[in-house]
Amino acid sequence: MVAIVDKISSIFKLDFSKLKKISLFSDNKIKQKVVKNANNFNAPVTINVFQLNQAEKAFLKDWTKESLTEKGVPLIREDASKIIEKHRQIEKLKENKTFLDFFKDKISSADLQALRASIYLKQIREEGQSIEELKSGIIHRFGSRGNNISNLYSAGYFHSQIKPLYEEMASQAGFNPEQFKAEYEIIVTQSPHAVFINSSMTPEQAKQAVINRMKISVQYGIKQLNIHGLGTSNVKKIYQVLERLKPECIESYQYVSGDTYINARAVILTPDKS
């Protein structure tokens, strides 16, 4: 066993005195052979099988036939091959394949990979299985941005907001894909401090949703709030909310909109200014 661990250490340049966990993945978009976080020894080290040479793949094939543990380090799960196959099957589902194909040329390759991982995570959660390790893996590989993408996908916002937003913007005369990318960037990076207004909300419920999110943002020292909506009724609803709140809660606001979409950013009136 020690000889095997030493060989793994030699091949992949891993220090087992610090390492806590190893996992495998395969991604032709990522050029590194080993992905690790030098500042967080508790984070799993992931080996990108796609970038391995034939000798390394052959070694891993033998290695993965059993579950290995050395020096308290769980190296790999016995059902790794089953997990990889399940991931492939989930992606092959028509609705998932169509969905990923839609975003293929509209978001970055890294975001697309995070989205792929999010689809798998959501499926596993719906089956009642633990997603803690999967979630940690997304954050490890893609950082807070990946976490935001995962949360947006799990909440249904890629289907109900982001995809329809692109379709609506693309239908406008003079559309430039960079316009969508700019709005998409705001949604992804600011999603923890954003509110999405939907058609089931009454104007009063929409107003309260904005107020509640503002209170949370202020607690974290965030002085801006993004408000998103799709559909003619939601556009009007958000305009009304912004105007109603401007004297008491909102210092100023700006927005990008069309007939059936609106993305607004409001500057919150902090208590010392009210």
| pLDDT given for residue 231 in this prediction | 86
pLDDT of 132 strictly over 80: yes
**Residue 80: pLDDT band by 50, 70, 90 thresholds?**
low
- Average pLDDT score over residue span 246-267: 88
Residue 4 has pLDDT above 90, yes or no: no
| Band (175; pLDDT cuts 50, 70, 90) | very high
| Residue 103 pLDDT grade (very low, low, confident, very high; cuts 50, 70, 90) | very high
Higher-scoring residue by pLDDT: 11, 243:
243
Give the whole-number percent of the chain exceeding pLDDT 70. Answer: 74
Of 17-31, 124-138, 146-160, give the lowest mean pLDDT range. Answer: 17-31
User: Which carries the bigger pLDDT value, residue 24 or residue 206?
Assistant: 206
What domains sit in the chain, N to C, each tagged with a CATH number? 2-78 (no CATH), 82-154 (no CATH), 176-273 (3.30.1370.110)
pLDDT attached to residue 158? 94
Burial class (CB in 10 A: 0-12, 13-18, 19+), 251: middle
- In this prediction, residue 56 has a pLDDT band, given cuts at 50, 70 and 90, of confident
The whole-number pLDDT of residue 107 equals: 96
- Checking if the pLDDT of 152 tops 70, the result is yes
Report if pTM > 0.85.
Answer: no
Report, as an integer, the average pLDDT of 86-111.
Answer: 90
pLDDT of 211 strictly over 50: yes
The mean pLDDT value for 122-138 works out to: 85
